[in-house]
Amino acid sequence: MTDLTNPKILLAITGGIAAYKSAVLARLLIKAGCSVRVMMTQAACEFVTPLTFQALTGQAVHTELLDETAELGMGHIELAKWADVVVIAPASANTIGKLAAGLADNLLTTVCLATNAPILLAPAMNQQMWSNAIVQDNLAKLQKFGYHIISPDSGEQACGDVGAGRLPEPEQLCEQILHFLTTQNTAQTLAGKTVIITAGATLEPIDPVRFLSNHSSGKMGFALAKACHDAGATVSLIAGRRVALQTPFGVERIDVGTADEMLAACQAKMRDDEQMIFIATAAVADFKMANIASQKIKKTAGSDGLTLELIKNPDILATISEQFPNAFMIGFAAETQDGETYAQNKLDAKNLDMIAVNDVSDSSIGFGSDDNAMTVFFAKKYARSKVQLPKAPKATIAKQLVSCIAMLTTKLNLI
């Protein structure tokens, strides 16, 4: 089991023009808490010097198969055993060919044959080379043998061509590597499930420049989206437009404004089967304007004040629950008083499987904060009625909620 607080990453660099991006990647991985060691092919050393990586990682860079400084002169075996994961970025067409042929004629190819660790390979080359059938055949072969391929980006290339074959940006690569490590070390309890999550605040226009909204940051929904995806689910995140958070890697994000738009986006994504899980964390406005003013409302519109006529918004959770009765439904309730009674009523009235209640009158948890604490209530058909999740970072609470969902959706009783 990899220590996810300090994973050991062996970064392998081959001779491609994108080798400069690997310097930023090494830095980002270290910043994210990884231990990074670097090995380079001779061609890679023509593009970026080993000194750059030595300075960035604080470690000697490995370039030679015959390493007299290594214990027993077998540096390749030491490196192969040290790594939790080997990341080849960029991976040249040449090295891909050698690996597919099972060659071991330099340090990199020898380590790849000698290691037990998973190997992530990020091809980067000219678009014509990328579309060459031999390269594609080699990649398919490597995939068959367990290599994990990081797809290249499309766009303008260093040689002036436009097309597929660009190395993804270091930030994206870093995210993919960290996500890979997480999934490798997280039980895939939601594999095969599709999760739709709403998050953040809706926004109800008053006139062309003003709107009604609330303080929801979307943090809990985004943390849940990541936790569900890490547990193997396919996740769509339907987010209020003002949520200023980075979308978790691998999660589809759909930005919406009003409650009506949020409902329509949910309906478009839902299916009525037992593999669907619907999680409603969004703080949806209960009311919207009866008529949105087509022009900016002037200060002079009312003498001493202004009355806005509001009408009820659709209840997204209740509507989805009614339209998709086979889906597993989870509600959230942010309450300032009497949370338990309200939660029990909502659980029954909306036919939910689970409801998570937090007390937003405590400003150290809930809206905008990084921590949360909640009580989770379960529908009567389950063996246990509730579970208390004490104050913890939202990422931790999200993982605990995923455990609850996994146990209920796999029809196990909560311990």
Ligand X SMILES: Cc1cc2nc3c(=O)[nH]c(=O)nc-3n(C[C@H](O)[C@H](O)[C@H](O)COP(=O)(O)O)c2cc1C
What x/- string results for residues 295 through 324 when contact with ligand X is judged by CB under 6 A?
------------------------------
- Shortest Å, Cβ 46 to ligand X: 7
Count of chain residues binding ligand X (CB under 6 A): 15
| Cβ distance to ligand X smaller for residue 50 or 393 | 50
User: What residues are paired with 312 via a beta bridge?
Assistant: 287
43 in contact with ligand X (CB under 6 A): yes
Stretch that binds ligand X, among 38-46, 77-85, 197-205, 339-347 (CB under 6 A): 38-46
Which residue among 159, 174, 266, 404 is the active-site one?
A: 159
DSSP secondary structure letters along 59-71 = SPPB--SS-TTSG
159 is catalytic: yes
95 in contact with ligand X (CB under 6 A): yes
- Do residues 15 and 47 make contact, with C-beta atoms less than 8 angstroms apart? yes
Among 2, 4, 8, 17, binds ligand X (CB under 6 A): 17
- Interface positions, 111-170, toward ligand X (CB under 6 A): 124-125, 129
94 in contact with ligand X (CB under 6 A): yes
Among 7, 12, 15, 76, binds ligand X (CB under 6 A): 15
63 in contact with ligand X (CB under 6 A): no
44 in contact with ligand X (CB under 6 A): yes
- Do residues 139 and 123 make contact, with C-beta atoms less than 8 angstroms apart? yes
- Shortest Å, Cβ 100 to ligand X: 12
Structure tokens at 247: 């979308």
- Do residues 202 and 215 make contact, with C-beta atoms less than 8 angstroms apart? no
In this structure, how many other beta carbons lie within 10 angstroms of the beta carbon of residue 236? Answer: 21
| Cβ distance to ligand X smaller for residue 45 or 392 | 45
221 in contact with ligand X (CB under 6 A): no
- Shortest Å, Cβ 119 to ligand X: 15
92 in contact with ligand X (CB under 6 A): yes
Nearest one of 118, 127, 168 to 7, comparing CA atoms? 118
Report the distance separating Cα 210 and Cα 219, nearest Å. Answer: 24
Q: Angle at CA 78, nearest 5°, toward 74 and 79?
A: 115
Instruction: Answer yes or no: is 315 a known binding residue.
Output: yes
User: What residues are paired with 392 via a beta bridge?
Assistant: 372
The alpha carbon of 155 is separated from its chain's Cα centroid by a whole number of angstroms, namely 24
Report the distance separating Cα 55 and Cα 60, nearest Å. Answer: 9
Stretch that binds ligand X, among 41-49, 218-226, 305-313, 376-384 (CB under 6 A): 41-49
Structure tokens at 110: 């020898």
| Cβ distance to ligand X smaller for residue 92 or 313 | 92
258 in contact with ligand X (CB under 6 A): no
With a CB cutoff of 8 Å and minimum separation 6, the contacts of 307 are: none
First-residue to last-residue Cα distance in the chain:
25
In this structure, how many other beta carbons lie within 10 angstroms of the beta carbon of residue 274? Answer: 11
Q: Binding site for CTP, residues? A: 286, 296, 314-317, 332, 346, 350
Task: Please identify every residue annotated as catalytic.
Answer: 159
Question: Which spans of this chain sit near ligand X (rule: CB under 6 A)?
Answer: 14-18, 41, 43-44, 92-95, 124-125, 129
